[in-house]
Amino acid sequence: MLIKISVENFKSFDQKEELSMISSSKMQGNKTHRMKIKQTNLLMNAVVYGANASGKSNLVAAFAFIKTVLMEGLPVDCVNDFCRNREANKTRESVFELQFTAGDTFYAYGFSAILSQRRITEEWLYELMQDGGAHQLFIREGSEAPVLGEGVSLSASEKSRFYVYSEDFAGHDTQLFLTEMNRGKKYAQNARLMFFPQVFSWIMNHVIVINPNMGISDTEVYYNDESLENISRLIQTFDTGVTDIKTRKISIDEMGKMISAEVVQTIFAHLKAQMQMTNLPGIQMTWRVEGGFFNIRIRENSEPEITTLVLRHGKSAFDFSFSEESDGTKRLFDLIDMLLTDCSDTTFVVDELERSLHPKLTEHFLRLFMEAHEGVRMQLIFTTHEDTIMDQSLFRRDEIWFVERDAENASRIYSLDRFKERYDKKLSKAYLEGRYGAIPVFQQFSFLKGE
């Protein structure tokens, strides 16, 4: 589970900003919204408010950026991703760090880079202890070979193996060492270097980022009839008109007629990179992109198997394609897997969860999510403008966050918990009145009229 994310000098974030999932010790309400791991109470939800262009989406982008760099290295287009509100930031380090639990082990993993130069300057991994201390697992500085922490004791063969990997990696300025230590490498279950695959797997497989116009998951739910029937029953509770869901096999050519060639290339490039990274003989992914919903399964030396969704409305004798559905129904298919997944220890990060959804439908989804995963290690972090869900019966005060731009046009993150509010306070009214900030501030405009 996520403990906190911190980001510095990235997009609209200038100085170090962080969102923490550690619960407030002062609050006693909604106790089911906390999960205790060892001595630490972690929150299950974080809802992030802010005006347009405040930086909410950039927080989601930070999660996505960390995953992208782990998958493919610093992307070519990251050279302008530093915070451009000050000239000095162009040559200043950008810093990204995740603190999280994988199983019952607490980790802090991060890296720094000068983005304008596409150069990673440092990378680190620590095991966090309950007494507040930390044990260094590895560190990599500049282009030097990565080194293990002093407390990591290896067998002679493991030491030799690590030394070879480390020396070979020296000078790779655009790549992360954590990636290299997972590139087709196999570890015995009792290997003392197992923290490399554990940390990589949690970030890549248990942090799921969902954007408004594209969703990706490795869910199984669209690959068998039983789960499709379950989805059909679930989708009916949202009153969309959809009563039945099936899949239909299509070819790559048919897929290319539904979406642009550029998007098709992006999808298959991602799948190819995933297969190379995991060194598996096959892979399957579900993609929701503008205009289409596709399940793709690739097996070694075989043609891709592609299916798309076919939907039935009420007693209609005709099928409907995914592209014919309303934006709200399409949005639900971005989110529905979150209700059905049984992959524990997962953190969903969703940008604009309420996009195209009625306020009551948004609330219905959130209550279903909380009910489905009560007592399970499952977190939901999402950005929104929907003030009707800013309700202390739905969220704890320490689960509500704001993002606001300051006078220097840099984003700041802060929690509602810093405001001393009564438990019966109507939060949405106070928010819209500007009590907590993070709302638009309009300027006067005069229309010029001819004589």
Distances (CA, A) of 335 to 51, 183, 380: 23, 30, 11
Q: For residue 289, what pLDDT is reported?
A: 80
Per-residue pLDDT tens digits for 274-313 = 777 766 677 888 888 877 889 998 887 778 899 999 999 9
Q: For residue 271, what pLDDT is reported?
A: 81
Distances (CA, A) of 48 to 24, 353, 383, 384, 439: 17, 10, 5, 6, 12
Amino acid (1-letter code) at residue 177? F
**Residues 144 and 114: beta-carbon distance below 8 Å:** no
CA 213, CA 322: separation in Å to the nearest integer? Answer: 14
User: Token digits for 162?
Assistant: 């690590």
Q: Which long-range contacts (CB under 8 A, 24 or more apart) does 222-225 make?
A: 222/247, 222/286, 222/295, 222/307, 222/309, 223/284, 223/295, 223/297
Residues of 396-409 as b/e, b for ≥16 C-beta within 10 angstroms? Answer: bbbbbbbbbbeeee
Exposed (0-12), middle (13-18) or buried (19+): which is 205, by Cβ within 10 Å? middle
Distances (CA, A) of 360 to 33, 237, 356: 21, 12, 12
Q: Which residues of the chain, if any, have pLDDT below 70?
A: 213-215, 278-280, 419-451
**Residues 217 and 283: beta-carbon distance below 8 Å:** no
Q: For residue 425, what pLDDT is reported?
A: 55
Q: For residue 424, what pLDDT is reported?
A: 45
Name, in order, each residue with C-beta under 8 angstroms of 326's C-beta and a sequence gap of 6 or more: 240, 356
Return the number of other C-beta atoms located less than 10 Å from residue 312's C-beta.
17
The helix (run of H) or strand (run of E) holding residue 253 is: helix 252-258
Q: For residue 46, what pLDDT is reported?
A: 96
The helix (run of H) or strand (run of E) holding residue 283 is: strand 282-289
**Residues 146 and 123: beta-carbon distance below 8 Å:** yes
User: The whole model's pTM is what?
Assistant: 0.89
DSSP state for residue 129 in the 8-state scheme: P
Q: For residue 52, what pLDDT is reported?
A: 85
**Residues 311 and 320: beta-carbon distance below 8 Å:** yes
Distances (CA, A) of 14 to 9, 75, 104, 113, 410: 4, 20, 33, 14, 6
C-alpha torsion sign, points 437, 20, 72, 270? negative
Range list of H helices, 309-396: 327-340, 359-372
Q: For residue 68, what pLDDT is reported?
A: 94
Q: How many residues does the chain have?
A: 451
